[in-house]
């Protein structure tokens, strides 16, 4: 079960965060404050400048609230994490042992790459990616390192992004994936959504006995970030980023005014950030029937359930099967 306490609040405009008794007071630019009981907050996602004092931070920390910070270009710039963690010594020891076993680690890495590729094809709803997917599946068993597996994933993704461009208007096309900073509107959208998925996964992992920095696929390629969060974000990114970009283009939800563009850089405007956060909130609240649990679950809960799969891998030896849509 996903933790029931609290929900995510999305701060898309500059604001001040202060403590008021056992509530958080968010002071918006228009001067109208919003007061939220601390027990109602699971985490905060900030898209813009925030001013927060130590009193508010202490309250957030005491109640286990994480604050995610996205920079101007939609990158996950960092997060404020509570002092106390749910991580347990026994789970983390086993996590370290598993990631230190080359065969076990590579098996998880390959499965993540395969699932991500299948999820991209599902998100784009096209058979044009079948040849590239077949090539990836034939090559993955011969990859002897996670770097090689990620290289094959990169080849597949380039084909997928080119396919995605055929569904987008010219001004929204990726024309190749660019980051830090994104060079056009399409890349800015993808960067923001990917950062939000990473934030959701990181919040889910902090509710488990695992350590989010001990991963399988990204362990050698990104040593400064929480590599397990990067790993588990991979199969979910297509569900939100590529899929929502394609949908927004088809429904003409986005306009050029939702982006701020400069020479070789682009980012979401304030209006664009509000649209993106609304799209993400709606999608996270979408429910589907879970065949194993025999009840409806939200997309948000699917992310939490994915983190629990790694817990079962570490503590029970249950093989890890990454998320793939079944609907």
Residues 242-254: tens digit of each pLDDT? 999 999 999 999 9
Of the segments 26-35, 224-233, 287-296, which one has the largest average pLDDT value? 287-296
Average pLDDT over residues 302-323: 95
Average pLDDT over residues 111-136: 95
Torsion of CA 269, 279, 4, 301, to 10 degrees: -120
Residue 225 has pLDDT above 90, yes or no: no
- Is residue 43 within 8 A of residue 68, CB to CB? The reply is yes
Residue 326 has pLDDT above 70, yes or no: yes
Give the Å distances, CA to CA, from 272 to 73, 120, 262: 12, 24, 16
What's this model's pTM, rounded to 2 decimal places?
0.90
Q: What are phi and psi of 295, to 5 degrees?
A: -160, 170
Average pLDDT over residues 142-149: 92
Give the Å distances, CA to CA, from 268 to 75, 113, 146, 186: 12, 29, 33, 10
Give me the sign of the Cα torsion angle 105, 129, 165, 119.
negative
Q: According to DSSP H, which parts of the chain are helical?
A: 54-62, 89-100, 102-124, 130-139, 146-165, 185-205, 227-233, 237-250, 270-284, 299-316
pLDDT > 70 fraction of the chain, expressed in percent and rounded: 97
Q: What is the pLDDT of residue 227?
A: 92
Residue 84 has pLDDT above 90, yes or no: no
Residue 4 has pLDDT above 70, yes or no: no
Average pLDDT over residues 219-235: 82
Q: What is the pLDDT of residue 71?
A: 87
CB-facing half-sphere around the CA of 54: CA atoms within 13 A: 0
- Is residue 314 within 8 A of residue 210, CB to CB? The reply is yes
Average pLDDT over residues 288-300: 95
d(CA 194, CA 161): 14
Tokens 């960067």 appear where? 191
d(CA 257, CA 269): 7
Give me the sign of the Cα torsion angle 153, 273, 9, 294.
negative
Q: What is the pLDDT of residue 3?
A: 45
Q: What is the pLDDT of residue 82?
A: 81
Q: What radius of gyration, in Å, describes the C-alpha atoms of the chain? A: 20
- Name the band, by pLDDT with cuts 50, 70 and 90, for residue 28: confident
Average pLDDT over residues 269-281: 93
């Amino acid at each position: 079960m996903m933790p029931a306490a609290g929900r995510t609040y999305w701060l898309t405009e500059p604001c001040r965060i202060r403590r008021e008794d056992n509530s958080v007071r968010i002071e918006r630019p228009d001067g109208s404050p919003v007061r939220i009981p601390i027990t109602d907050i699971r985490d905060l996602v900030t898209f813009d400048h925030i001013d927060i004092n130590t009193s508010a931070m202490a309250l957030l920390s005491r109640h286990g609230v994480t604050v995610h910070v996205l920079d101007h270009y939609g990158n996950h710039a960092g997060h404020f994490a509570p002092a106390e963690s749910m991580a347990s010594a026994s789970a983390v020891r086993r996590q370290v042992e598993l990631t230190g076993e080359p065969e076990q680690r590579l098996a998880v890495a390959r499965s993540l790459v395969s699932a991500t590729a299948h999820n991209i094809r599902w998100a784009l709803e096209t058979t044009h990616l079948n040849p590239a997917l077949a090539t990836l599946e034939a090559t993955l068993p011969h990859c002897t390192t996670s770097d090689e597996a990620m290289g094959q994933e990169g080849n597949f993704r380039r084909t997928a992004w080119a396919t995605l461009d055929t569904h987008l208007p010219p001004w929204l096309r990726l024309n190749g994936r660019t980051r830090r900073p994104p060079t056009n509107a399409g890349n800015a959208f993808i960067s923001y959504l990917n950062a939000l998925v990473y934030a959701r996964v990181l919040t889910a992992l902090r509710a488990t006995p695992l350590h989010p920095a001990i991963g399988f696929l990204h362990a050698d390629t990104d040593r400064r970030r929480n590599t397990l969060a990067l790993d588990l974000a991979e199969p979910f990114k297509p569900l939100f980023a590529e899929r929502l970009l394609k949908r927004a283009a088809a429904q003409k939800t986005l306009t050029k005014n939702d982006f701020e563009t400069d020479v070789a850089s682009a980012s979401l405007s304030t209006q664009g950030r509000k649209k993106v956060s609304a799209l993400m909130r709606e999608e996270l609240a979408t429910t589907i029937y879970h065949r194993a649990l025999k009840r409806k679950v939200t997309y948000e809960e699917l992310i939490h359930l994915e983190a629990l799969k790694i817990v079962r891998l570490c503590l029970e030896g249950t093989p890890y099967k990454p998320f793939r849509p079944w609907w």
